[in-house]
């Protein structure tokens, strides 16, 4: 069962139908942004307190209405950065989805542009990261420490966003489930779902499809826990973000095996858009981890660093 709007959730829980046309996917995106922003603020503050990252320099008007650069702790730019990255990420996610389904776009471009579903997560990741890097540079923040602070946060936001996909039934489910392969101990709903009442209006025949958003939530939360555990590692700045790229690539490459997406032929390699991007993330992440694996000298522990 899917719950496209808050009205559906309230009705399912209480039997009361209230006019609450709040899209559940959008609601979870908002929750993801708030949770990720809070975690990023905490991590930037920790890095700032122990000297791993400096202050941000932002432009402000003085009393004479002239622009001047003002130094602020990096955690103070999180709200602006989160909003910029989220909006850019949504645009990038829609753009990559259109590029992945060009035939459908050419047949009915307006419907594809303004549909309530159809977002490429990797498109959002790439666009949001690039714009985020631009603003970090504009604010004169060191890129590698900032990316390390963002690594676990990005995985957390991804996991919460995928909850929205699962709840609303936005079409990001897997291929038809093979019940012959289901372990006896696993409940049927964890192996196959029909997503009745899904937001895209698709009719899925029994036994259903693999609930891949649910699998991605579990894998992403495990990756978040790993990244959060290693956030105080002794490697060079940028190593943690490299680990993030490796984990993000492996997670998506695995889930693509039970999903159906358009296959492209590039240089004789047959793969989906997500598989190509996953492969690039894995290679780049491994390379970054190898290059930045040299351990830094131990730093004295202070009360600020321990937080």
| pLDDT of 302 over the 70 cut | no
Residue 114 is predicted with a pLDDT of 58
Cα atoms found within 13 Å of the Cα of residue 87, Cβ hemisphere only: 5
Q: Which tokens in the block code for residue 142?
A: 């060191």
| pLDDT of 301 over the 60 cut | no
pLDDT tens string 181-195: 999 999 999 999 999
**CA–CA distance, 65 with 230 (Å, rounded to integer):** 45
Taking residues 59-81, what's their average pLDDT?
A: 83
pTM of the model: 0.88
Mapped onto helix, strand or coil, the DSSP state of residue 23 is: strand
Taking residues 42-69, what's their average pLDDT?
A: 85
Listed ranges 63-77, 198-212, 252-266; the one with the highest mean pLDDT: 198-212
| pLDDT of 31 over the 90 cut | yes
165 and 213 in contact (C-beta within 8 Å)?
yes
Question: Using CA atoms in the order 280, 284, 286, 289, what is the torsion angle rounded to 10 degrees?
Answer: -160
State the Rg of the chain over Cα.
21
Q: Could you state, in order of their start, the residue ranges of all structural domains in the chain?
A: 6-179+188-232
The backbone torsions φ and ψ at residue 73, rounded to the nearest 5 degrees and listed phi first, read -55, 145
For residues 258 and 60, the model is more confident at 258
**CA–CA distance, 161 with 33 (Å, rounded to integer):** 9
Mapped onto helix, strand or coil, the DSSP state of residue 26 is: helix
| pLDDT of 204 over the 80 cut | yes
| pLDDT of 175 over the 70 cut | yes
Q: How many CB atoms lie within 10 A of CB 289?
A: 18
pLDDT-based confidence at residue 89 (cuts at 50, 70, 90): confident
Residue 266 is predicted with a pLDDT of 80
* Mean per-residue pLDDT of the chain: 88
224 and 159 in contact (C-beta within 8 Å)?
yes
Residue 188 is predicted with a pLDDT of 96
DSSP lists the bridge partners of residue 60 as 68
Taking residues 148-176, what's their average pLDDT?
A: 94
pLDDT tens string 238-273: 999 999 999 999 999 999 999 988 788 887 888 888
**CA–CA distance, 142 with 150 (Å, rounded to integer):** 13
pLDDT-based confidence at residue 280 (cuts at 50, 70, 90): very high
């Amino acid at each position: 069962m899917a719950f496209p709007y808050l009205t559906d959730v309230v009705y399912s829980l209480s039997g009361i139908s209230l006019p609450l046309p709040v899209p559940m996917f959008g609601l979870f995106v908002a929750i993801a942004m708030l949770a990720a922003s809070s975690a990023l603020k905490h991590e930037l503050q920790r890095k700032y307190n122990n000297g791993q990252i400096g202050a941000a320099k932002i432009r402000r008007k003085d009393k004479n209405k002239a622009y001047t650069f003002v130094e602020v702790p990096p955690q103070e730019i999180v709200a602006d950065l989160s909003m910029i990255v989220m909006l850019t990420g949504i645009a990038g996610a829609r753009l990559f989805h259109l590029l992945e389904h060009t035939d459908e776009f050419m047949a009915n471009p307006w419907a594809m542009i303004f549909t309530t579903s159809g977002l490429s997560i990797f498109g959002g990741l790439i666009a949001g990261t690039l714009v985020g890097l631009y603003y970090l540079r504009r604010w004169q923040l060191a890129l590698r420490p900032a990316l390390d602070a963002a690594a676990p946060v990005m995985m957390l936001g991804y996991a919460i966003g995928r909850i929205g996909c699962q709840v609303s039934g936005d079409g990001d489910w897997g291929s038809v489930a093979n019940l012959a392969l289901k372990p006896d101990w696993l409940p049927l709903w964890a192996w196959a779902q029909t997503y009745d009442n899904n937001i895209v209006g698709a009719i899925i025949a029994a036994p259903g499809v693999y609930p891949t958003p649910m699998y991605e939530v579990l894998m992403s939360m495990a990756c978040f826990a790993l990244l959060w555990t290693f956030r105080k590692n002794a490697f060079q700045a940028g190593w943690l973000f490299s680990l993030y790229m490796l984990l993000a690539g492996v997670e998506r490459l695995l889930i693509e095996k039970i999903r159906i997406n358009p296959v492209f032929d590039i240089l004789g390699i047959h793969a989906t858009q997500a598989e190509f991007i996953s492969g690039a993330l894995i290679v780049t992440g491994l390379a970054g981890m190898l290059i930045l694996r040299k351990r830094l000298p131990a730093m004295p522990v202070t009360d600020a660093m321990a937080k």
